[in-house]
Structure 1
Amino acid sequence: MSALPSLPPVEGSDPARSVLDSFRISIAKRVADALPPLTVEQVYAGVDFGKKGVDFTIALPRFRLPGKVDELAGKVISSFQADDYIESVSHDKAFLHFMCRTSTLVRAVLTQVHTLTHDTASGLPEYGSNELGKGKKVLIEYSSPNIAKSFHVGHLRSTIIGAFLANLYKACGWEVVSMNYLGDWGTQFGMIAIGFEKYGSQEELEKDAIKHLYSVYVQVNKDAEADPNVKIEAAKWFRRMEDGDEDALKNWRVWRELSIQKYTEEYARLNVHFDVYTGESQVGKKWQDKALERLDEMGLITDVDGAKLVDLEKWKLQKAVLRKKDGTSIYLTRDIGGAVERYEKHQFDKMIYVISSQQDLHVAQFFKILKLMEYPWADRLEHVNYGLVLGMSTRKGTAVFLDQIIREAANVMHDQMKKNEEKYAAVEDPEHTSLEIGITGIKIQDMAAKRINNYNFSWDRMKSFEGDTGPYLQYAHVRLASLARKNPELFPLPPPADVKTDTIVEPAARDIVFLLGTYPDVVKTALRTQEPSGIVTYLFRLSHAISSAWETVVVKGEQDVEKAKARLWLYSNAREVLGAGMRLLSIRPLEHTAVKWTANQDKAIIAANPPFFSTQESASSLESQVRRTYIQFLYLPEILMPLQQLPDMLLLLIACNESSLTPSLHAALDTISLTNRWCSYKYQEQVRNMLSTNATDDLESQMATFSFSHWSPEETETDGSGTSEGESSRNTWLEYMEKREVQIQILIHLLQLSLPKPCPKPTFRPLPEPPRKRRRVQALGSSSDTEESTPEQILEDRLESHMDRLALWQMALPTPDAGDQTPNQPGQKTDVAGINDWTQTFCNDVVQPLFAEKLPNLYKLLRTKLFRIPPWSEEEDEPEPEEKPKPRPAIKGSSSTTSRAPSRSRSRSLSLSLSQDAERQQQTTTRKRFLQREISMSRVFKEKPRRKPGEPAVKSRLAKTTSMNEVSVNSGSGSQNGVVLVAGTPQKPKAKSAAPVVLVGATPTKPKTSSQPSQRVGLQRTKTMTSDWSDDEILAG
């Protein structure tokens, strides 16, 4: 790009994020030079995308220049000279048409897509994003279902449009707060209470609370049509609720909690996330009273027979009731009080309400009253409305529920997949895949048209998978993803600057490239119109262009390797953009499915009624609710309880617990927060004993036993040590559960750090009767180590130890053969570019969308540990020169904070030490044997050295302690080469490493109190995974 002609800056352009702006500026400069007095800025605003066969078009009449259009066009054409940006110009009536130079276009667009996807400072994909909202905050209220009613399709539009807007505003630089404002208050709860006394059944409620409450609601509304007294009694009941009558509130709390749990399951399936869960019941009475007092002081309230109204007739908005005759509030009053409360708390720049067009009058009254109250921020409120789904009504019992639609769509797609037996057999989990494709079909069906349009609900329409549908988009993405798996011989791809993009000359390939270049403009247009349909249309255009290129722009079978690599790079970039657009619509792009538990096993689990669903254990307190949720996500399979939903579910508990203030939530999370050593102890001792004794003392032991009894991995390998098949299966399950535990602990610690202050100091829990060999480590890692640390520092240190554990597991993953790529399987590493192992998938798919923006430094830390060049990489053939590590100043306590994490001085973690040392010191023969998979990672670190006859088992060096001012580093070669772990730490006789083991960069600390044994004073431990591990655990990996 450096050789390209220089271009003037133009306001409103952003070539660094949208490279096609450079071509626009080049065109604008030519036309402005040929047609004075036009400026570059004026012409730039008139450069539009052309129709098929033309890149850019200018309509000359828009500039209102004197003279005939033909003469004006002739001046531009006569002065035109081709350059590296524009190669031709033509004239058609009132339009000028411009074509970009293909070589420049291809390289510029593909390089920008790759760079803004993989090489960003934030570590997040940024292609298509912009900074239009930088420094601004927007609150988006959407979904807002009603408590004790099933989540029907009428809520679908608000949910998916709101989720799209949240993703869209984030992509455009806004700080976004997604808010679910639950309909958990109002006279309808009086109706349900009256109906439950007549039609309710405790047995049916326990069996399926949502369906039973819905049935009660429908029946009592039928009674109300015949007897007006029913509504009067319901109003009296609600009045008791507003007055705080505990008997009236007791059942309401149960219905509310059950409804929220059901909603969480639906949001999980729809891939929708919320930052805040609130509701009408949580709008404080003081905010409502404050709003009414202000309106009364301004003379805007009219009292009519005890009811309070605001007359909006002059604005053709009728009269708005703010308080009923009986003194109870209505949702307009609560909306006004809630808006005032939100601004006081969030100081937003924009507040968007995603509400049906059926509520246009209500929203207009709401906004007008706030303006009459002279709030300066009232103009920042915005209503994004949408058309109705006709043919359903909750009151008459004709609603079609979302879970019915999802189930039916999944079944139809499953039946369609079965028609191709060969492909069906290749799908790892066809039922899960069909579910995802079915949900995609539902979303695309709803977002394909303008949101303001009404549509009639139709089963046939919702189940159709032909034409421009969600399944077609998923198919296009999966096909692009399969190219990497089917062409491993083309990897690694060269750096972008070395890709032979001049070989990409086919018209079909050029069409794909130009469409990729337009994506940033499509995002900007969507922000301006707030329409998801524009993104949907773009994705279909891109998918069609890719489909048209398969026959002419082939990869598999291309004899020219450089050309094949260039084409593969093109398709890889196309996949990135297609996936980015799908994620903008809250759709999960499918590549492959790697679910440990199959769908059939899931059905068996549900049918068997696991203890979690049947237990009568009390969950009245916030701590017990948090623990039940933790156990649910830990022991039930990923397909039922995806880890991505755990933080949302824990936050939901705030909405269903009246005392859920920030300190109490911190304390509740602390009860399920474990250190790294506790995780190891839990699965090596506690859970193993549960399985051996079939313990069922509490909920966790019941769930552990139940989960293992339904554990059926596809293949259980034995280790050749004579272990029985049952023991091997148990070990495999324990290993799998420990990995899931560590992932959950990472999410819990990140959630704790993302919560508002204050954060109480985490509880230190000593291990029960720790073995003698671990007492020294526990003493060093006990509360004495953290007395001077803040709670945030302690949490960060524990979090990093879990991250390092994840990194060690990743390093031990075996490398697959080049010709047998089966990516993303637990326990396997992948080397094919663009395909992640299970640890990286956890980072990308779970941690990134939840915490990358809230805790960017901690997310980058995790990403740095999991996405690095492995020690067996062939990118560097020459070993680095040996350098003796220099002593570092001792670190007292920990100085880590979220804001200073990248810049603080801390000792290198174990994972980094292993990687760097292996890269420097491992012998060539060992590297070659490792690449050929002749030895495993465990043998590299665990194999015992052979002793010569007569050589003592323990050398004298183990008897010596390290001096306070010296760092012992073994920098030898040959047989003395070893893994550098700990400096200044006395070595134990039972060490199993192949060579001396020392820690790079560790620094001796000052002696502790005189009561401390001298041999415990050799090391200021790093605040990484070594904080919680014994030396034997470190050596065991």
Structure 2
Amino acid sequence: MACYFRRAIAEQVARVVGLPSEKILHHVHAIPVHRKRSSPDFQLYLKSVLDDPLNATYYQEKAEKLTGKLVCDSIISDFGFARGVLTFKINRPLLVKKVMINIRQDGSRYGFNSELLSGFPKGLTLVEFSSPNIAKKFHVGHLRSTIIGNFIANLKEAVGNKVLRVNYLGDWGLQFGLLGAGFTKFGCEEKLKSNPLQHLFEVYVEVNAAAEKDEEMKQSAQEFMSKLESGHPQALSLWTHFRGLSIEEYAKVYKRLGVQFDEYTGESFYREKYQDILNLLRSKNILKITKEGTGVVDLTENGDLSAFSTVMRSDGSSLYITRDLAAAIDRMEKYNFDEMVYVTDKSQQTHFQNLFKILKMLGKDQVDCCKHVMFGRVQGMQTRRGDVIFLEDVLDEARARMLQNMAKAETSKTTEDPADTAEKIGVAALIIQDFKGQLQADYRFSWNDALQSCGDTGVFLQYTHARLQSLLTLWSSREEEDFNASCLQEPSAIATLQHLLRYDEVIYKTLKELQPRYLVAYLMGLGHLANVAHQSLHVKGSTPEVAHARLHFFNSIRVVLASGMKLLGISPVDKM
């Protein structure tokens, strides 16, 4: 609904300054709510629309003339001017009515139909994220890639893109030579059936230790990998078995996180295509062979090889970047995507810089639509048993701690499935703790901080949503859509509705920078405003007309809160 008011303001200013309203529209912004005092609703920096802001005298004269010609009308009830900023206050009953009716009509789509978002290109977005190494348990290091990638996919989908979620598995390389050779010596079929990834991890640890001391074991691993590369049936059968078991086990963890993929692919898919990449590099005359026999691509402009990327080992076998080149080109041809986003930690920054540069050298201009979203590392993640490396342990710990907290809390409601509720709250706690800061930053994880029921936490958001949901049990005449806007003129109601005005701008900024922290901060602000309003705008004991208007109001908050939480990858709970 902000766009309705934004357009009205832009049209009036446009008439005064003699510019098209479209040039002004995107410079009109909703004002962040001030908790301790009332404020106008929108602001416009005049420098953004006046043609000569550098001439101070001319600028001041023009600004005064402009403000002198503006008039209040049925939409704008007041305006002001100070320090180069023009502010607008919207007719209060109209503000209440328009915002709440818009939320009721659009539901979870509220904010996404804004003109602000119309400028973003729509099309096919491919998001590659999570990407664990098969035959290994899901490492906590993959948590960030998984939840960040899921958030980006959700966001792109919400603004109208078709999204393809791709899990590019690490399913090739020397580790499988070790595992294949080691399984015959250390493996146990029974243990593999009962707990596949745990047993494969144990085998990998044992064979890795053995290979460091025993040259024969290392040789066996290399021989197994050679069999795998040449397509030996027995080696491929074992690899296929390990890969299938791994994906089955990962799917269980993804389900707990509420994450799904459209496609599971991996390095193995491109093992046979790397020769095509090398031939393409040769044909473009950009593959150079060093004295050691390795194949490299010169990334400098003067050919001195001071900066290069190795794309072929001396024995002629492929590397990670060779397979990534094959994957990128294959996706360009297969999907003709409009955008491809890779989500990995920041240690791979150079890898992706090199990847994109080589693709450009190969004439693949679609690389301009490729982006690497990188993130920092999590430190200090522990369970009561000590340091953890497996994500399942973290999820189990979050659920166990939340169940314990729920059992202690006097306000806890009886739920049909306490463990499921605890799981959803625990996942929310992990996501919010992760998304509060810059994605590129490392951060230290704290269970105490993450699981606080008050403050800016996922638990607080879940509690607020459940509290709003419980209010709706008092709503006997929900089917009656009309309400009296004059019943919602209290400062806490107006402040909350002003905050709701800003939702499309927050989505815009979040989408532009792909940083979830903006959305997290907005939802926290909404949660705190909702709790202030809940304390002052009582439903019980109010007249039916007032109660009905207030229930409409609280439901509007719940709808937007739930929408934002789902974008972040959080499943809102109705009771806790």
User: Which residue number in structure 2 is paired with residue 23 of structure 1?
Assistant: 5
After superposition, the Cα gap between the structure-2 partners of 1:422 and 1:470, relative to the gap in structure 1 and judged at 3 Å, is closer
Distance of 1:520 and 1:160 partners within structure 2: 22
- 3-state secondary structure, aligned to 2:86: strand
Question: AA paired with 2:166?
Answer: M
User: Which residue number in structure 2 is paired with residue 529 of structure 1?
Assistant: 513
User: Which residue number in structure 1 is paired with residue 526 of structure 2?
Assistant: 542
Gaps of 5+ in 1: 1-18, 118-124, 594-1037
Question: AA paired with 1:44?
Answer: L
User: Which residue number in structure 1 is paired with residue 346 of structure 2?
Assistant: 357
Distance of 1:201 and 1:575 partners within structure 2: 52
* Corresponding position: 1:44 with 2:16: no
**Deviation sequence 1:542-591 (CA, Å, 0-9, x none):** 111101101222222212x1221111111112111111111111211111
Task: State the Cα distance separating 1:309 from its structure 2 match.
Answer: 1.7
Query: Counting helix residues as a fraction of each chain, which structure ranks higher?
Result: 2
* Matched residue count: 557
- What is the aligned counterpart of 2:368 among 355, 358, 379? 379
User: Which residue number in structure 2 is paired with residue 113 of structure 1?
Assistant: 103
User: Which residue number in structure 2 is paired with residue 213 of structure 1?
Assistant: 200
User: Which residue number in structure 1 is paired with residue 321 of structure 2?
Assistant: 332
Question: AA paired with 1:48?
Answer: H
Distance of 1:248 and 1:556 partners within structure 2: 70
- What is the aligned counterpart of 1:587 among 551, 570, 576? 570
Distance of 1:369 and 1:228 partners within structure 2: 37
**Contact conserved, 2:451 with 2:458, CA < 8 A, in 1?**
no
- What is the aligned counterpart of 2:81 among 69, 91, 111? 91
Distance of 2:478 and 2:31 partners within structure 1: 37
Query: Counting strand residues as a fraction of each chain, which structure ranks higher?
Result: 2
Distance of 2:472 and 2:451 partners within structure 1: 32
Distance of 2:575 and 2:454 partners within structure 1: 22
**Alignment map for 1:448-459 (pairs within 5 Å):** 448-459=436-447
**Alignment map for 1:167-206 (pairs within 5 Å):** 167-206=154-193
**Alignment map for 1:958-973 (pairs within 5 Å):** none
- 3-state secondary structure, aligned to 1:450: coil
Task: State the Cα distance separating 1:197 from its structure 2 match.
Answer: 4.1
Distance of 2:565 and 2:268 partners within structure 1: 35
- 3-state secondary structure, aligned to 2:479: coil
- What is the aligned counterpart of 2:491 among 492, 499, 507? 507
* Corresponding position: 1:140 with 2:127: yes
**Contact conserved, 2:212 with 2:218, CA < 8 A, in 1?**
no
User: Which residue number in structure 2 is paired with residue 56 of structure 1?
Assistant: 42
Task: State the Cα distance separating 1:539 from its structure 2 match.
Answer: 0.8
After superposition, the Cα gap between the structure-2 partners of 1:126 and 1:463, relative to the gap in structure 1 and judged at 3 Å, is closer
* Corresponding position: 1:299 with 2:285: yes
User: Which residue number in structure 2 is paired with residue 238 of structure 1?
Assistant: 225
Distance of 1:399 and 1:318 partners within structure 2: 38
Question: AA paired with 1:303?
Answer: I
User: Which residue number in structure 2 is paired with residue 446 of structure 1?
Assistant: 434
After superposition, the Cα gap between the structure-2 partners of 1:457 and 1:510, relative to the gap in structure 1 and judged at 3 Å, is closer
User: Which residue number in structure 1 is paired with residue 399 of structure 2?
Assistant: 410
Task: State the Cα distance separating 1:356 from its structure 2 match.
Answer: 1.3
- What is the aligned counterpart of 2:236 among 239, 249, 260? 249
**Contact conserved, 2:277 with 2:326, CA < 8 A, in 1?**
yes
Question: AA paired with 2:179?
Answer: I
**Alignment map for 1:275-294 (pairs within 5 Å):** 275-283=262-270, 285=272, 287-294=273-280
User: Which residue number in structure 2 is paired with residue 400 of structure 1?
Assistant: 389
Task: State the Cα distance separating 1:446 from its structure 2 match.
Answer: 1.0
Task: State the Cα distance separating 1:341 from its structure 2 match.
Answer: 1.4
Q: Using CA pairs below 8 Å that are at least 6 residues apart, which structure has the higher relative contact order?
A: 2
User: Which residue number in structure 2 is paired with residue 572 of structure 1?
Assistant: 555
**Deviation sequence 1:978-1021 (CA, Å, 0-9, x none):** xxxxxxxxxxxxxxxxxxxxxxxxxxxxxxxxxxxxxxxxxxxx
Question: AA paired with 1:513?
Answer: L
Distance of 2:139 and 2:146 partners within structure 1: 11
**Alignment map for 1:560-639 (pairs within 5 Å):** 561-592=544-575
After superposition, the Cα gap between the structure-2 partners of 1:284 and 1:248, relative to the gap in structure 1 and judged at 3 Å, is closer
Question: AA paired with 2:64?
Answer: G
**Contact conserved, 1:132 with 1:173, CA < 8 A, in 2?**
no
**Contact conserved, 1:320 with 1:365, CA < 8 A, in 2?**
yes
Question: AA paired with 1:294?
Answer: L
Task: State the Cα distance separating 1:164 from its structure 2 match.
Answer: 0.9
- 3-state secondary structure, aligned to 1:129: coil
Distance of 2:201 and 2:306 partners within structure 1: 33
After superposition, the Cα gap between the structure-2 partners of 1:527 and 1:297, relative to the gap in structure 1 and judged at 3 Å, is same
After superposition, the Cα gap between the structure-2 partners of 1:89 and 1:385, relative to the gap in structure 1 and judged at 3 Å, is same
**Contact conserved, 1:180 with 1:274, CA < 8 A, in 2?**
yes
After superposition, the Cα gap between the structure-2 partners of 1:465 and 1:558, relative to the gap in structure 1 and judged at 3 Å, is closer
* Corresponding position: 1:81 with 2:63: no
After superposition, the Cα gap between the structure-2 partners of 1:391 and 1:233, relative to the gap in structure 1 and judged at 3 Å, is farther
Distance of 1:477 and 1:526 partners within structure 2: 22
Task: State the Cα distance separating 1:322 from its structure 2 match.
Answer: 1.8
Q: Which has the larger radius of gyration?
A: 1
Gaps of 5+ in 2: none
Distance of 1:230 and 1:37 partners within structure 2: 81
* Corresponding position: 1:342 with 2:331: yes
Question: AA paired with 1:93?
Answer: R
TM-score (norm 1): 0.51
After superposition, the Cα gap between the structure-2 partners of 1:24 and 1:272, relative to the gap in structure 1 and judged at 3 Å, is same
Distance of 1:459 and 1:317 partners within structure 2: 46
- 3-state secondary structure, aligned to 2:259: coil
> How well do the aligned residues superpose, as a CA RMSD in angstroms?
2.6
TM-score (norm 2): 0.90
Task: State the Cα distance separating 1:480 from its structure 2 match.
Answer: 1.0
Identity of aligned residues (%): 37
After superposition, the Cα gap between the structure-2 partners of 1:218 and 1:465, relative to the gap in structure 1 and judged at 3 Å, is farther
**Contact conserved, 1:323 with 1:333, CA < 8 A, in 2?**
yes
After superposition, the Cα gap between the structure-2 partners of 1:28 and 1:134, relative to the gap in structure 1 and judged at 3 Å, is closer
**Contact conserved, 1:128 with 1:171, CA < 8 A, in 2?**
no
* Corresponding position: 1:467 with 2:451: no
- 3-state secondary structure, aligned to 2:150: helix
After superposition, the Cα gap between the structure-2 partners of 1:422 and 1:367, relative to the gap in structure 1 and judged at 3 Å, is closer
**Alignment map for 1:674-753 (pairs within 5 Å):** none
User: Which residue number in structure 2 is paired with residue 311 of structure 1?
Assistant: 298
**Contact conserved, 1:242 with 1:328, CA < 8 A, in 2?**
no
Question: AA paired with 1:553?
Answer: L
Distance of 2:24 and 2:377 partners within structure 1: 42
User: Which residue number in structure 2 is paired with residue 909 of structure 1?
Assistant: none
Task: State the Cα distance separating 1:368 from its structure 2 match.
Answer: 1.1
**Contact conserved, 1:32 with 1:39, CA < 8 A, in 2?**
yes
After superposition, the Cα gap between the structure-2 partners of 1:461 and 1:246, relative to the gap in structure 1 and judged at 3 Å, is farther
Task: State the Cα distance separating 1:33 from its structure 2 match.
Answer: 4.1
* Corresponding position: 1:419 with 2:419: no
Distance of 2:411 and 2:202 partners within structure 1: 45
Distance of 1:319 and 1:235 partners within structure 2: 27
Distance of 1:309 and 1:37 partners within structure 2: 59
Question: AA paired with 2:87?
Answer: H
Distance of 2:88 and 2:420 partners within structure 1: 47
Distance of 2:572 and 2:354 partners within structure 1: 41
**Contact conserved, 1:409 with 1:462, CA < 8 A, in 2?**
no
**Contact conserved, 1:303 with 1:309, CA < 8 A, in 2?**
yes
Question: AA paired with 2:514?
Answer: Q
Distance of 1:548 and 1:228 partners within structure 2: 69
Distance of 1:364 and 1:232 partners within structure 2: 35
- 3-state secondary structure, aligned to 2:317: coil
Distance of 1:132 and 1:172 partners within structure 2: 11
**Alignment map for 1:798-947 (pairs within 5 Å):** none
Question: AA paired with 1:157?
Answer: R
* Corresponding position: 1:389 with 2:359: no
- What is the aligned counterpart of 2:110 among 108, 117, 127? 127
- 3-state secondary structure, aligned to 1:385: strand
Task: State the Cα distance separating 1:73 from its structure 2 match.
Answer: 4.4
- 3-state secondary structure, aligned to 1:355: strand
**Deviation sequence 1:167-192 (CA, Å, 0-9, x none):** 11111111111111111111111122
